[in-house]
Structure 1
Amino acid sequence: MSKFSWGWGHSFKNYLLMFDLQDNELQEPILDVAAGASSFNAEMHGRGYYVVSADPLYALSMPDLKLKIDRMGQTLRQWIEQHKAQFLLRDKAAFEDLIAKQKAMANIFIQDFQEGVYAKRYVADPLPNLSFSHAQYALALCANFLFDGPYAKDMDFQLKAILEMCRVAREVRIFPLLDDSGEVSQHVAPLMAVLQSKNYGVEIREVPFHLQKNGNAMLRVWSNECQL
């Protein structure tokens, strides 16, 4: 399943801040999971880096994809307006700027999509069943999906999704840790405990990206094979 019907798009700059990405990490193969209509892949490709984005959304035809993205953008605008107390937006101008950036990122994605599909940079894989090999990627990134998306209340799915990302990447980073009420998900702590019991390393790390009041932290998960 893809992101919420109001799914966010994210840019290269967003991801640098959300996931505290360092220059050396950008040199490694990265998987963007439940990526939606983000410009991150296109921008990384333009800089000579290698990213694969996975989302069932990419199975749509181009006309249907454009229509879906337009509808998601409209719903996102409404959702933010209804939940504006969660956000660090100074005024109406800041809100309009946020929406304009969402549209710009979606346009970059659309312009890159067909070329990216041909190059196998966009694949229609769903969680928790990814088609990639064991440890094929250095990093798997997942934004605005596990805790504030359609599976926000399904801890079993969240665990399966995290373990599947851990299978295909040496390290997984998840942002944000908030549910759709703007509070840290009650599933974060028990999931961390289960992952530790399965011999995974876990860390909550503060990050520079801070759009929602409580939303400036990501979850890192890594296997024993990961050289930290």
Structure 2
Amino acid sequence: MYQFSNHEIRERIQKTYQKVIDGLQANLDSYVWHEIQSPEDLGQIRMSAMQQFLEDFPQKIQQGRYLTAELPVLPFKTQQFDLALCSHLLFTYSDFFSEDFHLASIVELCRVAAAVRVFPLLNVSGEVSPVLQPVMEKLKAQGYSVEIQPVPYEFQKDANQMLQIKSVV
């Protein structure tokens, strides 16, 4: 998304906003409505976050804070970071990305960071991703430490676990 201008990002947000709210309304029972009270409440929270991002983006992209890159190949040095976080991409969209893509992406994240955390482990339908177990097994076979850990957050029902991966080699 960082390849687009502020204006283009703002337009995309406006075009998708109502779709997201309508999707939440149609699937109210798939979410835990405690901290966030309603789809409209979530909409306000996300629009506020988007506004903060859009205010920050133009100056910080020129400073190199935001970089255009995409998995499964990242433009970073080996072990450049202590921690890599991947939220709401891997496993969430396993209907769109192959098992090979998931594996290659996690291996690449492990290349650039000492530890990797992926959240959530459910797909968009609220089911455990069908590629989770095969990817975990292949990572273990390649010498990675792989562990499912609970997290103290749950908005999508049963999406309260993350995958932590570390290189043991």
TM-score, structure 1 normalization: 0.69
What are the within-5 Å matches in structure 2 for residues 45-194 of structure 1?
57-89=1-33, 93-149=37-93, 152-194=96-138
The runs of 5 or more residues in structure 1 that have no matched partner are: 1-56
The runs of 5 or more residues in structure 2 that have no matched partner are: none
User: RCO greater where, 1 or 2, for CA within 8 Å and sep 6 or more?
Assistant: 1
Structure 1's 165 and 72: CA in aligned 2 closer, same or farther, altered over 3 A?
farther
Structure 1 partner of 2:148: 204
Q: Runs of 4 or more off by more than 4 Å in structure 1?
A: 150-153
Q: Following the alignment from structure 1 to structure 2, what is the Cα–Cα distance between the partners of residues 216 and 150?
A: 18
Query: Is the 8 Å Cα contact of residues 149 and 163 (structure 2) preserved in structure 1?
Result: yes
Q: What is the percent sequence identity of the aligned residues? A: 35
What are the within-5 Å matches in structure 2 for residues 3-14 of structure 1?
none
TM-score, structure 2 normalization: 0.92
Q: Following the alignment from structure 1 to structure 2, what is the Cα–Cα distance between the partners of residues 131 and 111?
A: 25
Give the AA of the match of 1:137.
F
Query: Is the 8 Å Cα contact of residues 73 and 102 (structure 1) preserved in structure 2?
Result: no
Alignment: residue pair count: 168
Give the aligned CA root-mean-square deviation in angstroms.
1.8
The question of 1:195 aligning with 2:139 is answered yes
* Offset at residue 143 of structure 1 (A): 0.7
Structure 1's 76 and 150: CA in aligned 2 closer, same or farther, altered over 3 A?
farther
For residues 74-111 of structure 1, give each alpha carbon's deviation from its aligned partner in whole angstroms, at most 9, with x where no partner exists. Answer: 32212222222210126x95322111101111111111
